[in-house]
Amino acid sequence: MTGGQAVLWVLALVALAFCLRRGPGVVRRVGSESGQSLLKILPMFAVALPMAAFLAELMPADAAVAWIGPDSGFMGVVIASLAGGFMPGGPFVTFPLVLAFSKAGAGVPQMAALITGWSIFAVHRIISWEYPLLGWRFVALRMASALPLPIIAGLLAELVVEVFPITLGVP
């Protein structure tokens, strides 16, 4: 178990202790909800992880370097931000794919930009949820307010990794 995993478990146990103070029924609900989420998430992982692994094998080792590698700089951040907006599906697709990209040579700041671009622009989510529920004015308002944020996130990450050598994925 890594340090990060240990911290996560400590946080989970503290939160469970707070639930226990509210009564054993609350803890039981937490247990059954976690089980339900696990049942929902496992099929997604069962499909998404092999897909990402196949793509990682297929991608030549330096395929991503030229476009979104660590030295691709500002253009790489812009490309990654845009690409993030067109990533299909939820987090169970995006995060394994980011892992595959980084194995193929993508840079850390570029991946921060990609995740931010996906979070803000995710086209599929706008089409299937935001537009039908809230209307195009809300979409326009949100897009206009948030347009440059993925690029800013990538540039800030670039500054951070110059000081702290952060890497992507599991050691």
Tell me: does residue 166 bind other proteins (CB under 8 A): yes
CA distances to 39, 42, 52, 129, 133 from 9, rounded to whole Å, are 20, 20, 27, 33, 37
Q: Residue 117: is it exposed, middle or buried by C-beta count within 10 angstroms (0-12/13-18/19+)? A: buried
> Which H/E stretch holds residue 126?
none
Q: Applying CB under 8 A, which of residues 68, 99, 104, 106 lies at the interface with other proteins?
A: 99
CA 58 to chain CA centroid, Å, is 22
Question: Per-residue x/- mask for other proteins, residues 26 to 65, rule CB under 8 A?
Answer: x--xxx-xx--xx--x-xxx-xxxxxxxxxxxx-------
Between 5 and 71, CB nearer to other proteins: 5
Determine the interface stretch with other proteins among 63-71, 76-84, 139-147 (rule: CB under 8 A): 139-147
Using CB under 8 A, which of 76, 96, 105, 107 touches other proteins? 96
Establish if 87 lies at the interface with other proteins (CB under 8 A).
Answer: no
Compute and round to an integer the Cα radius of gyration of the chain.
Answer: 19
Nearer to other proteins, 71 or 171 (CB): 171
